């Protein structure tokens, strides 16, 4: 028995017992192809039947370890019984009333968010259904209160796919192609990348903030016209990039110097994902506005724009609104999610995440194709590279994701060639061991292709 196999009893064969996709999955995918938009970026044919905790089953009875969690959404695991009970309890009372009225769960959720928010002063919340809507609301609020119309975003950023948020999104060419013009007035600057430094011999964070190097305010963007900087505290779709210490604080200082609002997009990094409730807390930085979605609802569609009260209270009646914001089922799920995350999963994400990174660094010693291991908590990426040139190994990355699926491990990629790990926050170290076994097999198989 090999050293790897000895660590875990799991072998691919015990999880997967049909060819993939199996017959039922294949039939469903064929029906889907005729009637569902082909725009979804689906990487492999997983057809869900049901899930429990960190495991999911497909319609043919194959079992997978889910380290993608519905793109970092199923924070408490699949079908957590307390979340399901909270949703059922809310559904028994009413399904919808609209944001024109009041109800207990919405107020309670806003109060809970106000107690947890990193702003260090009173905040207010605006509720919607998704990350992109939370970003749209943040942009509208920033324009409304500052009377300024320009924005700064980051290359590699992902903030959604509606015309405002899409103007910032720049992690993949295909997200932009065919949609110009999006919202005008957005200027992109580089996001600090310690593995692939853009500024030779410099602290990447400080170099990005050095406006004489980026030529930002001096050449083309009058700082007095900039409403806000929109930033992911840990860049997600762009490659799971953790900025150097000092970057976010420097950004905060730059914004303060020019009267610019700082919007932290915590849609992916928030709600315990990085081992703190919000990623910007790693650096003690208080944004003016913060966006949440994904992990907040444990799978229920909810987005929130959280802003300092002195900013959001400037919105006049009717300035912004929607039909479904504050849906009672979503609010019930979010309240229970925050209770579970605060009550233990955030600490678990920190502890198990540190163990996971350690195991990945061990694997890196044996696998020169792993150029970089990075992340915080359970927001972790490995960048796959050509071992000689260190060029991004995109094909290898795609092959690893595919082989992992065939062996029973759900993963997604990000950046050019980064495999990302964003499992439910309740996973154990033994789940990590299982994932490591499956990953190592996938890597070896992908390299042999």
Burial class (CB in 10 A: 0-12, 13-18, 19+), 95: exposed
Q: Examine residue 237 and tell whether it contacts ligand PLP (CB under 6 A).
A: yes
Please list the alpha-helical segments (H only) found in 300-345: 309-312, 328-340
Q: Examine residue 131 and tell whether it contacts ligand PLP (CB under 6 A).
A: yes
Q: Examine residue 231 and tell whether it contacts ligand PLP (CB under 6 A).
A: no
Q: Examine residue 136 and tell whether it contacts ligand PLP (CB under 6 A).
A: no
Eight-state DSSP code of residue 280: G
The single residue among 106, 132, 327, 417 that binds ligand PLP, judged by CB under 6 A, is 132
Residue 305, SS3? Answer: strand
Q: Examine residue 293 and tell whether it contacts ligand PLP (CB under 6 A).
A: yes
**Alpha carbon 251 to chain centroid distance?**
21
The single residue among 55, 265, 431, 440 that binds ligand PLP, judged by CB under 6 A, is 265
Q: Which stretch binds ligand PLP (CB under 6 A): 100-108, 131-139, 278-286, 421-429?
A: 131-139
Q: 159 φ, ψ to 5°?
A: -135, 5
Q: Which stretch binds ligand PLP (CB under 6 A): 51-59, 77-85, 157-165, 190-198?
A: 157-165
Of 258, 294, 299, 249, the residue nearest 118 (C-alpha): 249
Q: Examine residue 128 and tell whether it contacts ligand PLP (CB under 6 A).
A: no
Q: Examine residue 440 and tell whether it contacts ligand PLP (CB under 6 A).
A: no
Rank residues 305 and 407 by Cβ distance to ligand PLP and give the closer one: 305
Beta bridge partners of 385: 392
Q: Which stretch binds ligand PLP (CB under 6 A): 112-120, 155-163, 185-193, 415-423?
A: 155-163
Rank residues 221 and 293 by Cβ distance to ligand PLP and give the closer one: 293
Q: Examine residue 327 and tell whether it contacts ligand PLP (CB under 6 A).
A: no
Q: Examine residue 376 and tell whether it contacts ligand PLP (CB under 6 A).
A: no
Q: Examine residue 299 and tell whether it contacts ligand PLP (CB under 6 A).
A: no
Give the CA dihedral 432, 406, 74, 278, nearest 10 degrees. Answer: 50
Beta bridge partners of 119: none
Q: Is the dihedral of CA 22, 27, 32, 33 positive or negative?
A: positive
Give the CA dihedral 336, 317, 227, 254, nearest 10 degrees. Answer: -50
Residues within the interface to ligand PLP (CB under 6 A): 71, 130-132, 135, 158-160, 232, 236-237, 265, 267-268, 293
């Amino acid at each position: 028995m090999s050293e790897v196999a000895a660590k875990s009893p799991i072998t691919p064969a015990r999880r997967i017992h049909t060819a993939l996709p199996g017959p039922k999955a294949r039939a469903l995918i064929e029906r889907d192809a005729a009637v569902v938009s082909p725009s979804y970026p689906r990487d492999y044919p997983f057809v869900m039947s049901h899930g429990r905790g960190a495991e999911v089953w497909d319609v043919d009875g194959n079992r997978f370890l889910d380290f993608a969690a519905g793109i970092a959404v199923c924070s408490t695991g699949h079908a957590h019984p307390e979340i399901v009970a909270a949703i059922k309890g809310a559904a028994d009372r009413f399904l919808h009333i609209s944001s024109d009225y009041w109800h207990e769960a919405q107020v309670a959720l806003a109060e809970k968010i106000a107690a947890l928010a990193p702003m260090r002063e009173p905040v207010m919340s605006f509720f919607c259904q998704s990350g992109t809507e939370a970003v749209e609301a943040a942009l509208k609020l920033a324009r409304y209160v500052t009377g300024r119309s320009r924005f700064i975003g980051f290359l590699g950023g992902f903030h959604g796919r509606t015309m405002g948020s899409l103007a910032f999104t720049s992690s993949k060419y295909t997200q932009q192609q065919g949609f110009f013009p999006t919202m005008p007035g957005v200027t992109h600057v580089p996001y600090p990348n310690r593995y692939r430094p853009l500024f030779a011999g410099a602290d990447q964070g400080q170099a990005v903030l050095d406006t004489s190097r980026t030529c930002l305010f001096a050449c083309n963007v009058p700082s007095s016209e900039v409403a806000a900087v929109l930033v992911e505290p840990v860049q997600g779709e762009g490659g799971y990039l953790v900025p150097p210490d000092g970057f976010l604080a420097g950004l905060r200082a730059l914004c303060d110097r020019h009267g610019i609002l700082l919007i932290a997009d915590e849609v992916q990094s928030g709600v315990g994902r990085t081992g703190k409730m919000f990623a910007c807390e790693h650096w003690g930085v208080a944004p003016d506005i913060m966006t949440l979605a994904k992990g907040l609802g444990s799978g229920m569609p909810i987005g929130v724009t959280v802003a300092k009260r002195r900013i959001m209270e400037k919105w006049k009646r009717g300035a912004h609104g929607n039909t479904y914001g504050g849906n009672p089922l979503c609010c019930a799920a979010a309240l229970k999610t925050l209770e579970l995350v605060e009550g233990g999963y955030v600490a678990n994400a920190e502890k198990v995440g540190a163990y996971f990174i350690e195991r990945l660094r061990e694997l890196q010693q044996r696998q020169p194709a792993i150029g970089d291991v990075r992340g915080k908590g359970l927001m972790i990426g490995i960048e796959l590279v050509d071992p000689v040139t260190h060029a991004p190994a995109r094909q290898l990355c795609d092959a690893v994701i595919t082989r992992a699926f065939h062996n029973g491990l759900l993963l997604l990629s990000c950046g050019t060639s980064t495999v990302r790990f964003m499992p439910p926050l309740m996973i154990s170290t033994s789940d990590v061991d299982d994932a490591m076994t499956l990953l190592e097999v996938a890597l070896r198989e992908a390299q042999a292709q």
